[in-house]
Copies of this chain bind each other. A is one copy, B any other.
Amino acid sequence: MTNSDSLTIEDISQEIEHALSHDSITLAAKALQSLRSQDVVQLMHRLDFRNRAVVYRLLPKDRALAVFEMLQPRLQADLVHALHDEEVTGVFAEMDPDDRATLLDELPAGVATRLLRDLPESELELTSIVLGYPANSIGRRMSPEFVSAYQDATVAETLIRVRSRIDDAETIYTIPVVNRQRKLMGVLDLSAAMRADHDTSIAEIMDEPYSVPATESAEQAAIRCSNLRVLVLPVVDDESRLVGILTVDDALSILEDAQAEDQARISGSEPLRRPYLATPVRSIVKSRVVWLLVLAIGATITVQVLEVFEATIEQMVVLSLFVPLLIGTGGNTGNQAATTVTRALAVGDVRPRDVFKVIAREIRVGLTLGLLLGTLGFAIASIFYGVAIGLVIGLTLMSICTLAAAVGGGMPLVATKIGVDPAVFANPFITTLVDATGLVIYFLIARAVLGL
């Protein structure tokens, strides 16, 4: 895509937005014809509830289906609410069973039942397989439409089998290999079959099996698919029997959602369920207010700490000038450590049992950072406020950096150990904790050095 292309698409989208805001439906419909389905999806991400339904109704039937399938489940559900049942039924029947199950999770029970009632028998069956697994498990997100090969079959037999399923299967490029009891025995790369002699047995050319249990969390399964760098991850039941496949593009969708959630949590908010501009202000407030309140209530501990040292501040008001600088630096050091360790945990470079190794490293890192910043802080503060204050600031910076790095590095591991998502427990909490303890350290050092 060249720059001039993308400009045109932006221009057209803007034209449609403009036409919609002036209720010029004909104009919008005309402009819509020059957009590809993926651009229509991007456009819908910028529209409110009402206009999304208007745009959708303006699409020709086959375009409408393609667009619907590309939308996020929450936006699909919005459309189901906005449209009449008969407009939805056809689209619903055309969806992949896994996408259908995800949409059903977003709908009220009444609507879900009505839609399922009108579904053809065979599709209902495929959907039931997926719906049988717990929400958030990979069983719920896998595709039950796959083609498998028998390990004792020949290449020729297998290629015929693959060709016969070519229109139904989600992919034919990576083929799970099973025995006659449907137990997963290996994985076959289609190109290996194309390369082999026709009478070779599949067992000879297949690779070692890799898989996830259907009850595994969708996120963990997607991480595994991505780490293994495979196009397909077979999904098995308790007895290692093949029940479905996770394709790399579905893994990408799961990872994107998980990432959005982690990023939101790290900043102390809940993920938005719709694209930013398509989310009502009310929902944005809701996604942020609870964590903000929790953190603010947590921060009242700093008020209490300062109250304890109120007499010290009264004696030397100059001490209060450095409070934001000191706790800010502590917060930054803690966040740096927490972010590094959280990521190392996520990619598997660090494990919960490494907690002491990590804390020991972070104490060394924090101490080094603290020595550097503390020396600088001592020098600068000494010039402007005298050596005594300089000493207090230098020593406090050193202590706070060490403490913050150790807490920031240790916290994600402790969170994982007690079964909490490290992202939830992350940066804002560390900041609050380091703020309060940092203040105690500061005033204790000040009292000792200044003899207050």
Contact = CB atoms under 8 A, between A and B. Distances in A.
Interface of A: 1-2, 10, 38, 42, 45-46, 163, 166-167, 172-173, 190-191, 194-195, 210-213, 224, 226-229, 231, 248-249, 252, 256, 259-260, 263-264, 266-269, 272, 275-278, 281, 284-285, 288-289, 291-293, 295-296, 299-300, 302-303, 306-307, 310, 313-314, 317-318, 320-325, 327-329, 331-333, 335-336, 338-341, 343-344, 347-351, 354, 357-358, 361, 364-365, 368-369, 372-373, 376-377, 380, 427-428, 431-432, 435, 439
A288 B336 contact: yes
A266 B317 contact: no
Given A320-B320, A328-B302, A439-B324, A372 B295 contact: no
Contacts of A427: 267, 335
The 10 closest A-B pairs by CB, nearest first: A267-B339, A276-B344, A302-B324, A275-B349, A229-B249, A320-B320, A306-B321, A299-B325, A267-B335, A269-B336
Contacts of A349: 42, 45-46, 275-278
Contacts of A269: 336, 339-340
Most chain B beta carbons < 10 A, residue from A288, A335, A347: A288
B339 A264 contact: yes
A256 B323 CA distance: 38
Report how many copies the assembly holds: 2
B321 A310 contact: yes
Contacts of A231: 173, 231, 248
A269 B348 CA distance: 21
